[in-house]
C-alpha cells in the first residue's frame, strides 16, 4: 500500500508540474531566476523561523496536561517534524516528532499525536479564513479552487466538531470505542487500548476550555501570518507586486493543495496552484510567477529541512526507530 501511495504521489506531482509549466517560456523563467535579488530571502527566513517558534509555543501550550516542556527543548523536535514532512511522503514527520518527544521527554505518542491532529485542524481553519478574507478581492479565482475551498471548509469544520464533542464527553465517547475494541482486537490488548484512550483524551483536553481554544486559534493566525510575510519578502526579489491579500490567498490555497498525495517536499502540489493564483488573480506573467513560486518553495523547504536534519542526527535517530514507534502507537503502547 505504501508503495502504491508513493507512486500515486509521484504521478500527481509530475502531472501538476507539467500543467503549471506548460506553455511557459522556460528560458524566461530561467532569466527571472538568474536576475532575482536573493538577499530578500534572508528577512523572509527570519520571520519564518519566528513562525516556527510560535508553532513550538502552541505545541508547548497543548502539551501541558502531560508535561511543561521548555521551548528550547521542544523547538528541535518541531524542526525534526518539519524535516520529516519535507523528506518523507504522507506527512510522516508528524509521527516522527511525536516519537522524538517520547524519547526526549517521555510523553506518550498516544497523547501527543492527538495534539498534532488538533494543530492540523486549526491550521486548516486559518488557511480557509485567509482564503475567505481574500476572496472578495479575487472575483476571477478559478472555480476549481473555489470548490476545493468549499470542500475543505466542510471537512475541517466537521473534524473540529467531532474532536470537540469527543473531548467534551469522554465517558460517552468511550462506550462505542470499547465496543469496537472488544469486537475487533484480542482480549490481551483490551487493557492497553483503555490506556491508549485515556492518553488520547488528555491530548484533546485543550479543546474543553474556551480560553485554550482561543489561544490555539490566535497562535495559529500568528504562525500563518508570519509565513505569509515570508511570501511578501521573497516577492521583492522579483519584478512584480501583488497585495498582501493575494499572498494570503496564495498561502491558503497552496497549503490546502499540499494535503494531496505528492512526491516528498510537496512537489507540484505547492507549485501549480501558487503559479496559477499569481497568474489569474494577481495578473503576474507566468514566467515570473513560476520563478517566484519555485524560489519561494525552495526558501520554505531548505532552511527548516537542513536544521531539522541537523537536530535529527544529534538525536542519533534512524527510520527503523520511527516505524517501530508507529507500530507501538497503533497498538496503544506509545
pTM for this predicted structure: 0.88
Whether the per-residue pLDDT at 34 is higher than 80: the answer is yes
Band of pLDDT at residue 262, cut at 50, 70 and 90 = confident
Give tens-digit pLDDT for 222-246. Answer: 999 999 999 999 999 999 999 999 9
At 148 the pLDDT is 77
CA–CA separation, 12 and 261 (whole Å): 7
Q: Which residues contact 190 (CB under 8 A, 6 or more apart)?
A: 181, 182
Ranking 47-56, 104-113, 127-136, 154-163 by mean pLDDT, the lowest is 154-163
At 328 the pLDDT is 54
Give tens-digit pLDDT for 91-116. Answer: 778 888 998 998 889 998 888 988 99
Whether the per-residue pLDDT at 329 is higher than 60: the answer is no
- Judge whether 126 and 221 are in contact, CB under 8 Å: yes
Whether the per-residue pLDDT at 305 is higher than 90: the answer is yes
Whether the per-residue pLDDT at 327 is higher than 60: the answer is no
Whether the per-residue pLDDT at 56 is higher than 70: the answer is yes
The domain of 203 spans 2-330
Give tens-digit pLDDT for 138-148. Answer: 888 877 777 87
Residue bearing cell 505545541 = 59
- Judge whether 152 and 128 are in contact, CB under 8 Å: yes
Structural domain count, the chain: 1
125 closest CA partner among 205, 218, 261: 218
What DSSP string runs through 125-138?
HHHHHHHHHHGGG-
Band of pLDDT at residue 38, cut at 50, 70 and 90 = very high
Taking each helix axis as running N to C, give the angle between helix 319-330 and helix 93-105, from 0 to 180 degrees, rounded to the nearest 10.
90
Q: Which residues contact 43 (CB under 8 A, 6 or more apart)?
A: 233
114 closest CA partner among 96, 100, 90, 98: 98
Residue with the bigger pLDDT between 168 and 55: it is 55
Residue % of the chain over a pLDDT of 70: 93
- Judge whether 77 and 104 are in contact, CB under 8 Å: yes
Helix, coil or strand: residue 266:
coil
Residue % of the chain over a pLDDT of 90: 48
At 1 the pLDDT is 58
Band of pLDDT at residue 326, cut at 50, 70 and 90 = low
Total Cβ atoms within 10 A of residue 202: 21
Helix, coil or strand: residue 68:
coil
Cell of 128: 480557509
Amino acid at each position: 500500500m505504501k508503495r502504491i501511495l508513493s507512486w500515486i504521489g509521484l504521478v500527481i506531482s509530475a502531472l501538476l508540474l507539467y500543467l503549471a509549466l506548460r506553455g511557459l517560456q522556460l528560458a524566461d523563467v530561467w532569466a527571472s531566476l538568474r536576475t532575482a535579488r536573493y538577499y530578500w530571502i534572508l528577512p523572509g527566513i527570519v520571520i519564518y523561523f519566528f513562525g516556527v517558534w510560535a508553532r513550538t509555543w502552541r505545541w508547548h501550550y497543548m502539551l501541558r496536561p502531560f508535561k511543561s516542556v521548555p521551548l528550547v527543548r521542544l523547538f528541535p523536535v518541531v524542526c525534526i517534524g518539519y524535516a520529516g514532512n519535507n523528506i518523507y511522503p504522507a506527512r510522516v514527520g508528524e509521527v516522527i516528532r511525536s516519537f522524538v518527544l517520547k524519547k526526549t521527554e517521555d510523553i506518550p505518542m498516544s497523547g501527543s499525536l492527538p495534539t498534532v491532529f488538533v494543530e492540523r485542524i486549526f491550521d486548516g481553519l486559518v488557511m480557509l479564513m485567509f482564503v475567505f478574507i481574500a476572496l472578495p478581492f479575487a472575483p476571477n479565482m478559478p472555480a476549481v479552487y473555489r470548490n476545493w475551498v468549499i470542500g475543505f471548509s466542510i471537512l475541517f469544520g466537521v473534524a473540529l466538531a467531532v474532536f470537540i464533542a469527543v473531548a467534551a464527553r469522554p465517558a460517552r465517547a468511550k462506550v462505542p470505542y470499547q465496543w469496537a475494541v472488544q469486537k475487533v482486537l484480542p482480549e490481551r490488548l483490551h487493557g492497553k487500548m483503555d490506556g491508549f484512550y485515556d492518553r488520547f483524551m488528555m491530548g484533546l483536553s485543550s479543546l474543553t476550555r474556551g480560553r485554550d481554544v482561543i489561544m490555539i486559534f490566535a497562535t495559529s493566525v500568528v504562525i500563518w501570518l508570519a509565513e505569509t510575510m515570508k511570501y511578501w519578502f521573497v516577492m521583492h526579489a522579483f519584478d512584480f507586486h501583488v497585495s498582501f491579500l493575494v499572498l494570503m490567498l496564495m498561502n491558503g490555497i497552496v497549503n490546502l493543495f499540499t494535503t494531496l498525495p505528492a512526491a516528498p517536499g510537496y512537489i507540484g502540489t505547492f507549485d501549480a496552484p501558487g503559479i496559477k493564483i499569481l497568474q489569474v488573480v494577481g495578473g503576474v506573467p507566468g514566467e515570473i510567477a513560476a520563478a517566484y513560486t519555485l524560489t519561494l518553495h525552495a526558501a520554505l523547504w531548505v532552511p527548516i529541512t537542513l536544521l531539522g536534519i541537523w537536530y535529527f542526527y544529534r538525536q542519533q535517530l534512524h527510520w527503523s526507530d520511527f516505524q517501530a514507534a508507529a507500530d507501538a502507537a497503533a497498538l496503544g503502547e506509545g
